[in-house]
Amino acid sequence: MVLSVNNLSAGYGRVKIVQGVSFAVKPGEILAVIGRNGVGKSTLMKTLVGELPAMGGGIAFLGSDITGRPAHERAHMGVGYVPQGRGIFSRLSVGGNLVMGETVGRMRRLKANYERVYRFFPVLKERHRQMAGSFSGGQQQQLAIGRVLVGNPDLVLLDEPSEGIQPNIVQEIGRTIRRMGEEEGLTVIVVEQNLDLIRTAATRCIVMDKGAIVAEIDPKELDDPAVAKRYLAV
């Protein structure tokens, strides 16, 4: 398993949001974490990367217990993270943003992997010197994912990559996420509410409600509008 999460709980102050979540992710899987607004999806991601401490339970990454490890150590071990809202430095160039990925990520075995980034996102090579702030939402999302890939992660966590992006670009990003698993064996956990992105990218879906995982479904099941309506705010 790339990641094993066992009875994990977490929250803010004394308020528990994530309530006893367990799941595991295999190499090359694209796991979608879906669910309505405010159910705790981002809180779960923040706990997995170490931005929030666990209140209980455990997290194992490639067989090592990382539950108590600080965020920067998890990143160096190979956990990549694009937060909701992307976290792009808008006053830096595209290239300047990508270089940031070198220091955050894991440079142990491999050198910074720009070729792979440019293969997935050619626009980042073409517009290397452009200010990141002048990019469209979709291009900024590609830049944020590319910046994480520079550091050679084994696992990539994406929090709502479709947010604020035009529908035609959503599909393109979804296909690229799928290819990251198929062509590179990368493992991805993607928080999403966008049906198109889930259907093009995900190999498996877990559904969150009130801080817990309440169902596991095949992404194809979301083709049924009744199922989609039950699990997403569509």
Footprint of ligand ATP (CB under 6 A)? 12, 17, 37-43, 84
Residue 38's binding partner, choosing from ligand ATP, Mg ion, none, with beta-carbon cut-off 5 to 8 A by kind?
Answer: ligand ATP
Distance CA 114, CA 91 (A): 21
Beta-sheet strand order (sheet of 155-159)? 79-82, 155-159, 187-192, 30-34, 204-209, 212-217
Q: Which C-beta is closer to ligand ATP: that of 106 or that of 160?
A: 160
Per-residue exposure over 95-105, b if at least 16 CB sit within 10 Å of its own CB, e if not: eebbebbbebb
Q: How many CB atoms lie within 10 A of CB 7?
A: 12
Which of Mg ion, ligand ATP, none lies near 203, with the C-beta cut-off 5 to 8 A by kind?
none
In degrees, rounded to 5, the angle at the alpha carbon of residue 149 between the alpha carbons of residues 143 and 150 is 90
- State the binding partner of 17 from Mg ion, ligand ATP, none, CB within 5 to 8 A by kind: ligand ATP
Which residue matches tokens 């995982």?
213
Site size toward Mg ion, by CB under 5 A: 3
Alpha carbon 62 to chain centroid distance? 17
Residues 78-107 contacting Mg ion, CB under 5 A = 84
At closest approach, how far in Å is the CB of 206 from ligand ATP? 13
Which residue from 25, 32, 34, 42 is in contact with Mg ion, where contact means CB under 5 A?
A: 42
CB of 84 or CB of 130, closer to Mg ion: 84
For Mg ion, the closer of residues 39 and 177 by Cβ is 39
**Smallest distance, ligand ATP to C-beta of residue 163, A:** 8
Residue 49 beta carbon to Mg ion: minimum distance, rounded to whole angstroms: 13
Helix 94-104, helix 137-150: angle, nearest 10: 40
